[in-house]
Structure 1
Amino acid sequence: MRLNPTKCTFDITAGKFLGFIVHQRGIDANPDKIKAIQEMQSPKTVKEVQRLAGRIAALSRFISRAGDKSSVFLRALKSAKDFKWTPECEEAFHQLKSHLENLPRLASVKDGEPLGLYLAASNLAVSSVLVTLDKIGERPVYYTSHVLAGPELRYAPIERIALALILASRKLRPYFQTHPIKVITDKPLRQILSKFDVAGRMLKWSVELGEFDIEYEPRKAIKGQVLADFLSELMPPPVPQNPTPGWTIHIDGSANSERGGVGLVFKDPSGHVYEHALRLGFRATNNEAEYEALMFGLKVAADLRAADIEADALAKLASSRATDTPTGPTVRTVGPSIGPTLMTVGQEDGGWTNEILYFKQTGVLPEDKAAARRVRRAESWYCIIDGCLYRRGFSRPLLRCLNPTEAQTTLAEIHEGICGDHVGARTLAHMVLRQGYYWPTLRKDAQAYVQNCEPCQKHARFQHRPMVPLSTADCAWPFAQWGMDLLGPFPPASGQRRFLIVGVDYFTKWLEAEPLASITEKQVEWFVWKNIITRFGLPKAIITDNGT
């Protein structure tokens, strides 16, 4: 097969050929070429089937779900010795010819234009199509397809959809790097790729996709016939699933002149029933008893990790006398409840945690492009447990993410709390991590906190280190390099000598000194000649500080 930017020509059987004129926006087939397609003969040998499968792969950009269309021919090639052109292969060959007669025209895109990506998966292959999202409509830009093999055949349906996305990002990397991509799917792909306890390959795929500008959008009505054909071809029929029933809680609270009580009946999704009754240890009105029933029911539901709850009324159960209390439920006396503290994201300035929490809960990115890119890259490292944000690490357990206010409180407690010993900044940051906490500016905040700690500044040891790094002056042999300096003035000695000129050898640390009454050029020259040159020879270097 020969391929060039303008023409693609190949033959199916002897004397037959098929030509396509490949333009920038797709493939155009004139009537003569359509007639040539209709006259294509079925392959008769293994080599002809191999040629057909290879040419389908070469034109996969223009063929919708090419992997599914070629899977029949690939199965026929598995037993090359007992090759048979079955009726199933003949039917698939005629469907391929029909598809080649009506190839779609591919659209061109502009730089930065948002694009959509549709994903499809069958038992044999995964496919995707990149489309435009302009006012004209959804037009195909590029088709990709991959035939499943080996362990991929045992992937779960949601893993096959994720595999289609990761393969599309690798093959269409230039599009993913220069365009915002909207993945349009009816599967919970974003929730699966952002979970912290997924399998190893899903976590790897999640990190790999983090570098791209990808948004997930639920699939709505299909606007183009080409996309409708892509999503309907060879798709396995959906398996009806019964909605999983949630928890049902029957609660009621009542009070009379003698006492008040609360009754609860819990029914789990599997149908098991749990009864519970509370006798209030204080005088309460009916409204207060109802409030206590609701609060206690919510507490128990939170302990049971019941996510989907339906509440209902229950007849007076625990407000009767002790002898009248049913024997089924467990009855105990409780005091007044202060109620749970309900907090939502945004009640306090959570700073960086609010961005990630909001995105993982709603899927909405910040309007600022830089912040959106930062959140998209980092969100795969975080998870939400009981409404709190945690960060996953390679060699440590989950770390609780703290907002700026909690971070300062944690630093103060560890640094100078009951068990704090005013450690240094580096040790303080490691201690925070060992305690199970994390925030992005941990090391920077720890250093700033230690520098602003007043006891540390008052009682810290005095630093004797020089302000600038010391520079070494190496000498390879004795008396080759001398350091010379002038000292004084000192109290006058005999002959009014108040100054001292000193020379020190760098290698042996030999000292030469001479007292002087005054500092003149002639006396310095005489010292060098008398004490250094005449005794130890001509030095290689004499180093001074050029002082006065």
Structure 2
Amino acid sequence: MLLDAENRYNMMEKLALTLITAKKKLQQYFESHTIIVYTDYPMKQVLNKPDLSGRLSKWAIELGTYDIQFLPRKAKKGQVLANFLVEIQSFTPDTLPELLELEAEWVWTMHTDGASNSQGAGIGIVLEAPSGLKIEEAIRLEQFATNNEDEYEALIYDLELARDMGIRRLKVRGDSKLMTEQVVENFDTKAPHLTSLLKKVSELKAQFHQFELVQIPREQNQKADALAKLAFAGECPRHSAISRSHSPRDSEVFSTSSELECWMDPIIRYLTKSELPTHAKNAKLLCLRAQRYSIIHGTLYHRSFNGPYLQCLRPSEAKKLLEEIHEGTCRNHIGGRSLAHKAFTARYYWPYMMTEAHDYAKKCDKCQRFAPTIHQPAQVLHSIIAPWPFAKWGMGVVGELPRAVGGKWYALLATDYFTKSVVAEAYIMISKTDTMGFIWKHIICQFGIP
């Protein structure tokens, strides 16, 4: 039945049929509540078209009796669950563990890539199961690394992920020729910082029954490359990554979290355990940065220049603080600069306070709706030479022209500044009398005194 529906229905008909099915199963909710549908497809425009026909017309009339609103989808979390239910619809909860155990014996394919620049380093992973299920992950690395180190870090994380999922046969695809040849022992590894990483890769790949690493062209690894670049597209606290929790008895459970690692964690580890990044440059920067912080009763504080210590906040805590100050109990919807100053005077601190406060204030819906109207012009006003038609004229003499009938080879021209309309007349010679007659006949008598 599913295969038949896939062949007979287009995408819009499938979405409308999904709404019809949901309406039949949740009739009482559709009748008593406003239903909000998040979708990236223009369903509202399609269902409201007057020239619909066939089954889509019937469904549009049936859905039109309910209060249904169509909004663009913002977050991907709900869509991930929907896609997951569609993919496992033919399996029952009793057969799912057996399916995962069976897939563990099959060959899984993994695309990996690493990227780094002045903003940071990141890795991208695309893990594809034999059944077609894909797992995509973008991870930002705290320490700065070279491109080769980043490729090795991505491969190590791939192998750890596959090992924790219970995968026994793995085929890895990457676009780094140096890393691929070194892992398969075709190239020698002379750099000391790569030798330790290669040793870690060798220990991990020995834990698989079958392991294969193949270099592919860069254009065939675009998705993993895009995920790697996405990992460091912005500041670390503002990006989320996919985490995993593994139990030997349970199947793999995937969740999303935006605070797996934030700007505070490396500083806390250095101040409490003296842990430093492996890269020498990053270690030196962290030592210099940590001098402005202290840990008091297990809480990280920032040393201000001329005031008390400021309590450091994580990204979610900073967002809640801005929300409370801007539109909380004592809300006054202040601007971004005042919002950051209030958070600072309340003895709180996090990087990019001013930037995030400005961004938060700009996105406030009430501030945009009820802001005072600005009557000041956007730019300096300039006076207009001719504010209405035929108020100002420009005249000129053209000649000598090719001699015309009557021996005329000069012309008088008059152009209106506003409409750009032109008046012209030819003369043998242009005198004072001819000019006065031209102005009287063609300008004053037709359009009035300028």
TM-score, structure 1 as length reference: 0.24
User: Which has the larger helix fraction?
Assistant: 2
More contact order relative to length (CA 8 Å, sep ≥ 6): 2
TM-score, with normalisation over the residues of structure 2?
0.29
Q: Could you say which structure has the larger radius of gyration?
A: 1
